[in-house]
């Protein structure tokens, strides 16, 4: 048998090994690079996103502000009033004028969990191991006709996020969530699309979310993404009672 034929068969035998050699870290690294690169992501110290929420005839404005290392404030604005949820790195609180509340209130541990996750300006997949999360590449899956890498991310609190990355663009197009709230598992799913580059970083400008398997989703349209705007830490701190 010639050396050429032997080399050909040797290459065939190595194909399964090469396929197995791709790890979750390889895919995450490609995703980070596709979004703009780690240096670019880490250069963002603050982020302010303005969105429009559409649910049937209902429409509202949402503004979310993030600041490193772990601060987040989200305002739900309707008819001139704003419901606020915020996390200052230690404490979660809310101010809800729609329920007639004039003073801010502390949130429970379960209610604060989602704020802690949102306060991660990079998202849980970036530096996941350093944050105490566990990631696993569980293969490929089809999302509405698009071949995707499927990553199972187990957060350090035990909640699970299943992330689908387009194998061509590497952009995230879907996330499934399993979150334990008050002893019950809640499952949701979020779809991402219409990616645009903002200051060298790709961000989704169309977001749809809802309960898993429910075709009725809440639609969010991103109007503006701003990086490194000046934001004081006091923005995230719980205000003192007015009475």
What are the b/e assignments for 204-242, b being 16+ CB within 10 Å?
bbebbebeeeeeebebbebeebebeeebeeeebbbeeee
Question: How far apart, in whole angstroms, are the C-alpha atoms of residue 6 and residue 30?
Answer: 33
Q: According to the model, what pLDDT value does residue 243 have?
A: 59
Q: Is 51 exposed, middle or buried (0-12, 13-18, 19+ CB in 10 A)?
A: buried
Question: How far apart, in whole angstroms, are the C-alpha atoms of residue 241 and residue 73?
Answer: 18
Q: According to the model, what pLDDT value does residue 57 have?
A: 77
| pLDDT class of 17 with cuts at 50, 70, 90 | very low
Query: How high does pLDDT run on average in the chain?
Result: 90
Q: According to the model, what pLDDT value does residue 212 have?
A: 85
Question: How far apart, in whole angstroms, are the C-alpha atoms of residue 76 and residue 62?
Answer: 5
Question: How far apart, in whole angstroms, are the C-alpha atoms of residue 17 and residue 200?
Answer: 35
Q: What is the pLDDT of residues 34-93, one digit of tens each?
A: 999 999 999 999 999 999 998 777 889 999 999 999 999 999 999 889 999 999 999 999
Distances (CA, A) of 201 to 73, 196, 198, 230: 21, 8, 5, 19
What does pTM read for this prediction?
0.87
Q: What is the pLDDT of residues 170-229, one digit of tens each?
A: 999 999 999 988 888 899 999 999 999 999 999 999 999 988 878 888 999 999 999 999
Domains of the chain: 17-236 (2.50.20.10)
CB-based contact 106:90 (threshold 8 Å) = no
Question: How far apart, in whole angstroms, are the C-alpha atoms of residue 52 and residue 11?
Answer: 53
**Residue 41 pairs with which residues in a beta bridge?**
none
Kind of pairing, strands 81-87 and 71-78?
A: antiparallel
| pLDDT class of 162 with cuts at 50, 70, 90 | very high
């Amino acid at each position: 048998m010639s050396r050429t034929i032997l080399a050909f068969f040797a290459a065939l035998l190595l194909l399964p090994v090469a396929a197995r050699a791709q790890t979750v870290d390889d895919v995450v690294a490609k995703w980070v690079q596709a979004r703009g690169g780690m240096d670019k992501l880490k250069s963002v110290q603050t982020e302010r996103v303005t969105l429009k929420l559409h649910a049937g005839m209902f429409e509202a404005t949402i503004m979310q502000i993030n600041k490193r290392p772990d601060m987040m404030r989200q305002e739900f604005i309707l008819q001139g009033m704003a419901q606020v949820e915020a996390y200052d790195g230690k404490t979660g609180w809310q101010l809800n004028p729609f329920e007639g509340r004039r003073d801010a209130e502390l949130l429970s541990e379960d209610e604060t969990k989602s704020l802690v996750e949102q306060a991660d300006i990079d998202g849980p997949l970036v530096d996941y191991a350093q944050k105490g999360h566990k990631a696993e590449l569980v293969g490929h899956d089809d999302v509405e006709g698009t071949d995707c890498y499927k990553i199972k991310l187990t957060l350090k609190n035990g909640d699970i996020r299943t992330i689908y990355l387009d194998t061509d663009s590497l952009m995230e197009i879907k996330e499934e969530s399993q979150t334990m709230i008050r002893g019950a598992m809640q499952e949701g799913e979020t779809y991402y699309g219409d990616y645009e580059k903002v200051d060298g970083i790709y961000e989704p400008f169309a977001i749809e979310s809802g309960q898993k398997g429910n075709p009725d989703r809440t639609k969010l349209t991103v109007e503006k993404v701003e990086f490194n705007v000046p934001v004081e830490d006091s923005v995230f701190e719980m205000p003192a009672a007015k009475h």
